[in-house]
């Protein structure tokens, strides 16, 4: 009879139900299509573009130096290591919670020696009693009839999955951050060389005007105006020297070690552009982003916690059992007839505990909060992608207009210089043309950087592939 009862209890514990509500994914609180308008590319061709979700990072970032730096960052970055360790912790916590479904079997061996006084002894004489025992058993094993432990196990599982998505998101952010830091360093290095070239040109012009002033062919105002341009270029040299150093420090921080000199960029011209990707549809893209998936895992975890809170209203059944052997002599410990066993099921029925009602309300409130956070993650993802699409749709027009502006201002500067040399105009026209050309050249560098960065941004916000492809180039030690 005891064996039958034990089998029934074990079967009930294994096949016990769960009281967690059925999970239904909330509808995405965003439009079914991306925004349309003058800022977006209408009817874009997708034949030459790939899905960011299916494109590995080393297939998106085609520049070999960027690939090497990304691999270096993936190996040494401490933030990514922290995310990996967090996954390991969540996995261990899930393992602990899952093990609650199984009994904890412990072995025990002991000796007891006691003196019985004569007035308590059955023989009327004082006695010394010895007892040796060896046993194997489980203590207070909860049989999960109402799914409390199962719900907690499911909650821990979803927390573990959320940590994995957080690791994936951290890796995507790291990959894009390294690429952006590389581009910023390239752009500021190019601006530094532009400032140095401008400084040399302005200094040469200043020397010529100073000589003309000495000969009485130029005024003191012309000399001071030329000197203003020289000092302005000198200020920019110091500024971009500082920015290059800061960009280098930022890149070193992301890499976790100093970047090898041979992998550093000189300018934007030598950087390979990011491969074009397709935005697809919001429902296909947004729900696969790692931060959205992590928010959904958190929602599933909160949903499972409701099941554990509901199960607290129902009885708990636990089992304590042991089997072993005992004898008054050590030599008789394993002889026939020394077997012992114990079997002690326990039923605890909640009668009144106000905490259970509050815990149930709190679990439901946490689920509602998780729903709001999940929907907010989708809305934030939609906004980020829409912003990236707007940038991609307009940056080429800005870049083309800026290139035309640089060409036009350059011609204006040449004409102004010619007219000044011929004595037809004063130096003020040359000064204005110089300032406009220098500002236009800096603006062109900024827009070229914005175009390259927009490709990185779009790949990142679309949840681009975070693992390298099988044909990824092997990083060589510098």
For the chain, give every domain's residue range.
Answer: 13-101+144-314+355-461, 104-143+320-349
- For the domain with range 104-143+320-349, which CATH number is right: 2.20.200.10, 3.30.300.20, 3.90.10.10, 2.60.34.10? 2.20.200.10
Query: Is pLDDT above 60 for 13?
Result: no
| pTM recorded for the entire structure | 0.83
Task: Give the other-Cβ count within 10 Å of 259's Cβ.
Answer: 22
Classify the C-alpha dihedral 136-140-145-147 as positive or negative: negative
Collect all residues with Cβ–Cβ distance below 8 Å to 425 and sequence separation of at least 6: 416, 419
Query: Pick from 374, 174, 382: which is nearest to 284 by CA?
Result: 382
Cα 50 to the center of its chain, rounded Å: 23
The pLDDT of 324-344, averaged and rounded, is 81
Q: Best-predicted range by mean pLDDT among 114-118, 140-144, 174-178, 421-425?
A: 174-178
Cα atoms found within 13 Å of the Cα of residue 354, Cβ hemisphere only: 0
The predicted model gives 83-94 an average pLDDT of 90
Report the run of H or E that residue 194 belongs to, with start and end: helix 148-214
pLDDT in tens, 364-407: 999 999 999 999 999 999 999 999 999 988 999 999 999 999 99
Structure tokens at 410: 């350059």
First to last CA, the chain: 74
Q: What percentage of residues in the chain have a pLDDT greater than 90?
A: 38
The domain 13-101+144-314+355-461 having CATH identifier 1.20.1600.10: the answer here is yes
pLDDT band at 45 (very low <50, low <70, confident <90, very high): very low
The rounded mean pLDDT for the chain is 84
Statement: residue 120 has pLDDT above 80: no
- Do the beta carbons of residue 458 and residue 385 sit within 8 Å? yes
Segment 255-282, tens digit of pLDDT: 999 999 999 998 898 888 888 888 877 8
Q: What angle do CA 80, 471, 53 make, to 5 degrees?
A: 60
């Amino acid at each position: 009879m005891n064996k039958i009862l034990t089998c029934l209890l074990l079967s009930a514990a294994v096949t016990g139900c769960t009281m967690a509500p059925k999970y239904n994914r909330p509808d995405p609180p965003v439009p079914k299509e991306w925004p349309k308008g003058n800022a977006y590319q209408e009817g874009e061709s997708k034949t030459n573009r790939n899905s960011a979700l299916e494109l590995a990072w080393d297939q998106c970032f085609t520049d070999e130096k960027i690939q090497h730096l990304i691999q270096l960052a993936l190996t040494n970055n401490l933030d990514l290591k922290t995310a990996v360790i967090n996954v390991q912790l969540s996995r261990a916590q899930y393992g602990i919670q899952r093990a609650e479904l199984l009994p904890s079997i412990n072995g025990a061996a002991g000796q007891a020696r006691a003196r019985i006084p004569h007035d308590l002894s059955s023989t009327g004489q004082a006695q010394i009693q010895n007892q040796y025992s060896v046993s194997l058993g489980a203590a207070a094993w909860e049989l999960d009839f109402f799914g409390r432990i199962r719900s907690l196990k499911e909650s821990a599982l979803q927390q573990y999955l959320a940590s994995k998505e957080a690791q994936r998101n951290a890796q995507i952010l790291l990959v894009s951050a390294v690429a952006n830091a590389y581009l910023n360093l390239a752009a500021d290095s190019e601006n530094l060389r532009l400032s140095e070239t401008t400084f040399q040109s302005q200094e040469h012009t200043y020397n010529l005007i100073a000589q003309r002033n000495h000969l009485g062919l130029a005024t003191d105002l012309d000399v001071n105006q030329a000197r203003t341009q020289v000092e302005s270029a000198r200020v920019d040299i110091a500024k971009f020297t500082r920015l290059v150093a800061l960009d280098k420090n930022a890149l070193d921080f992301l890499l976790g070690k100093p970047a090898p000199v041979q992998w550093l960029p000189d300018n934007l011209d030598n950087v390979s552009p990011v491969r074009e990707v397709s935005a697809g549809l919001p429902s296909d893209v947004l729900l696969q982003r790692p931060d959205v998936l992590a928010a959904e895992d958190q929602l599933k975890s909160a949903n499972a916690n409701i099941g554990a809170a509901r199960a607290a209203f129902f009885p708990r059944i636990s089992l304590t059992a042991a089997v072993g052997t005992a004898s008054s002599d050590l030599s008789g410990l394993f002889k026939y007839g020394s077997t012992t066993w114990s079997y002690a099921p326990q039923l605890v029925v909640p009668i009144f505990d106000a905490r259970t009602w509050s815990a149930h309300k709190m679990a439901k409130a946490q689920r509602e909060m998780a729903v709001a956070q999940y929907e907010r993650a989708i809305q934030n993802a939609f906004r980020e992608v829409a912003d990236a699409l707007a940038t991609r749709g307009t940056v080429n027009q800005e870049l083309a207009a800026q290139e035309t502006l640089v060409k036009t201002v350059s011609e204006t500067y040449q004409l102004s210089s010619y007219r000044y040399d011929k004595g037809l105009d004063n130096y003020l026209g040359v000064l204005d043309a110089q300032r406009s050309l220098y500002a236009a050249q800096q603006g062109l560098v900024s827009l070229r950087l914005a175009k390259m960065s927009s490709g990185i941004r779009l790949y990142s916000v679309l949840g681009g592939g975070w693992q390298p492809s099988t044909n990824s180039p092997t990083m060589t030690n510098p």
